[in-house]
Amino acid sequence: MSYVHPEYLVDTEWVAAHSTDLDVRVIESDEDPLLYAIGHIPGAAQVDWFSTLQHPLRRDFLTREKFEEVASRLGITNDTTIVFYGDKSNWFACYALWLFQYYGHKNVKIMNGGRLKWEKENRPLVKDVPSYAETKYRAKEADKSIRAFRDEVLKQSNAKKPLVDVRSPKEYSGELISMPNYPQEGATRGGHIPGAVSIPWAQAVNEADATFKTPEELRTLYEGKGIKSDAGEVIAYCRIGERSSLTWFVLKYLLGYPKVKNYDGSWTEWGNLVDAPIEK
């Protein structure tokens, strides 16, 4: 058994051989924004999930026009193969990939294992920031089939359709509102969306080298909790939508579920929403 869409993954060896190819752009997307400056894969560019990819005022992504500017500045054409990698088991790499898909870039991949595996293999990290010839990137209309908004999440919950809560167990139970050791802020209520099953995102990756678990292990993990590929649309959420973008990637590409959405409003929206139902 293999992943359903193995073309969405590359290994570190592939990246080492192709990181400076003209039709490939390797992009680092981290939780810790200083890591890129300290050392990155030769030829790699950086996006920051917050300062590069969010709207400067509203709680939303940057606009389609701004996205085109970012992609053009990174020398990306509509045909470029983009490989994302990052720290923390590729959380923010998956987040960036999800957003590039949202604006219609099809040819995207994750470097399996991310920074951790690259470092463990003692591969080179460089400090020089490459410059790219600017392009005229054209983004597509936002693809809302991969992004869930609160009203459809409520409908999903009321209809008892699959919802996956990928936060830590204590966030799911409502004991904590944020991750352990993170500031306890951002939501005025704790708990989870009624009907959501708890499958912490980290169970999808191997702790030792941040690679994804095998297809068999992943299938057992999600199907064992009742999240089956024939169950229709699946919505994943966490606190702000970054951890759940990893789960979205796993369900959509590694396991090939037909319809998966990431609810990026996540708990910081739901836990503040007046009249929203909550389970503890």
Residue from 5, 20, 55, 182 binding another protein (CB under 8 A): 182
Structure tokens at 201: 């995102």
| Annotated catalytic residue within 238, 246, 251, 255 | 238
* Site size for another protein (CB under 8 A): 23
Q: What is the DSSP string of 103-134?
A: TT---EEEETTHHHHHHHTT---B--------
Q: Quick check: 236 binds another protein (CB under 8 A)?
A: no
Q: Quick check: 51 binds another protein (CB under 8 A)?
A: yes
Q: Which of residues 96-115 bind another protein (CB under 8 A)?
A: 115
Per-position x/- string for 184-203, each x denoting binding to another protein as judged by CB under 8 A, each - no binding: ----------------x-x-
Q: Quick check: 221 binds another protein (CB under 8 A)?
A: no
Q: Quick check: 56 binds another protein (CB under 8 A)?
A: no
> Residue with structure tokens 């869409």?
5
In angstroms, the CA 29 to CA 47 distance is 5
Question: Which stretches of the chain are DSSP H helices?
Answer: 12-18, 35-38, 64-73, 91-102, 114-120, 150-158, 169-173, 215-224, 243-249, 266-270
What contacts 163, CB < 8 A, 6 or more positions away?
Answer: 153, 156, 157, 193, 195, 196, 197, 234, 235, 236, 237
Q: Quick check: 125 binds another protein (CB under 8 A)?
A: no
Residue from 3, 14, 33, 231 binding another protein (CB under 8 A): 33
238 catalytic residue (yes or no): yes
Active site members: 238
Site residues (CB under 8 A) for another protein?
32-35, 37-38, 48, 50-51, 87-89, 115-116, 168, 179-183, 200, 202, 207
